[in-house]
Amino acid sequence: MSAYASLAAAYDGLTTDVPYETILDFLEAILRESGKQPETVLDLACGTGSMSLLLAKRGYRVIASDLSEDMLTVAAHKAESLPQPPFFICQPMQRLRLPEQVDAVVCLLDSLNYLDKPDDCRKTFERVYKALNPGGVFLFDINTPEKLRSLDGQVFLDENEESYCVWRAEFDKEEKCCYYGIDLFQKDGERWKRSFEQHCEYAYDPQQLSVWLAEAGFVRVEQYGDCRREAPSAGEQRIYFAAYKE
């Protein structure tokens, strides 16, 4: 079963701790400091659209893309009441093609790590560069290799009244990948329905990503600690990038 096929309906209820407002505040602070005032934004790998909706509510004109039709269905339903909802498209990141260029691209919640082939990551950077207007900016985050290695052998539990999720992590040193085996139990009337998904995140070296961004054409690349406007610390678990197009 493909990633997020069963998890889509339960995703929002199991991720209520994600600080979308704080993340967007942080990104907007970076934009202000760099003198950028984007009007159009692509939410790349938008998932169930929580950040897409928040961007739209703050006045941006939003395009939102994701590979999962199931996640996009949830996102579109959530956006129905907005006066200017995002425009949703179903595309893989490495084959991104937009109806128009945008001023900024955001790709959040370690979505880039889901590109488990380095060549797909490089292609994504090239596609994002082409999708940006001159002077545009690409903002994204990654789970660091340190974090993914630390997950090896760990078991996690998330639950609410409608869903019960157990996921197990295993890090493959040779493949540089962290595999998540996810057992999801969802309430179906008086019964519970079980499904299983396997997810994979690639452990990208932050310095290598900066090199690939430069090769794609970005003239300046900056790295930040987790929602901090300062350089990443040693052992950082999550790193944010800002890549600027000339």
Question: Half-sphere exposure (CA, 13 Å, Cβ side) for 47?
Answer: 22
For residues 36 and 65, is the Cβ–Cβ distance under 8 A?
no
Lowest-confidence region among 8-12, 52-56, 71-75, 165-169 = 8-12
CATH of the domain at 190: 2.20.25.110
Within this chain, do residues 81 and 38 fall inside the same structural domain, yes or no? yes
- 189-228, pLDDT tens digit by residue? 989 999 999 999 999 999 999 999 999 999 999 999 999 9
Within this chain, do residues 176 and 115 fall inside the same structural domain, yes or no? no
CA distances from 53 to 15, 48, 102 (A): 16, 9, 17
Within this chain, do residues 210 and 108 fall inside the same structural domain, yes or no? yes
The pTM of this model reads 0.95
For residues 48 and 69, is the Cβ–Cβ distance under 8 A?
no
- Could you tell me if residue 3 is inside a domain? no
CATH of the domain at 76: 3.40.50.150
Looking at residue 6, its pLDDT comes to 77
- Could you tell me if residue 1 is inside a domain? no
**Tokens linked to 145:** 């290799």
Say how many domains are in the chain.
Answer: 2
Report which DSSP code applies to 94: G
User: Helix 50-57 to helix 69-78 angle, to the nearest 10 degrees?
Assistant: 30
Looking at residue 82, its pLDDT comes to 96
Q: What's the distance, CA 16 to chain centroid?
A: 16
Within this chain, do residues 68 and 164 fall inside the same structural domain, yes or no? no
Count Cβ atoms below 10 Å from residue 1 Cβ, excluding itself. 10
Looking at residue 3, its pLDDT comes to 62
Mean pLDDT value across residues 121-149: 98
- Could you tell me if residue 121 is inside a domain? yes
Within this chain, do residues 121 and 228 fall inside the same structural domain, yes or no? yes
- Could you tell me if residue 103 is inside a domain? yes
Looking at residue 27, its pLDDT comes to 98
Tell me the residue range of the domain where 234 lies: 8-144+205-244
- Could you tell me if residue 191 is inside a domain? yes
Within this chain, do residues 87 and 183 fall inside the same structural domain, yes or no? no
Looking at residue 1, its pLDDT comes to 41
- Could you tell me if residue 196 is inside a domain? yes
Within this chain, do residues 118 and 172 fall inside the same structural domain, yes or no? no
38 pLDDT higher than 60: yes
Within this chain, do residues 174 and 134 fall inside the same structural domain, yes or no? no
Within this chain, do residues 122 and 54 fall inside the same structural domain, yes or no? yes
Lowest-confidence region among 6-15, 16-25, 146-155 = 6-15
Within this chain, do residues 48 and 104 fall inside the same structural domain, yes or no? yes
How does the average pLDDT of the chain come out, rounded? 96
**Tokens linked to 75:** 């996102």
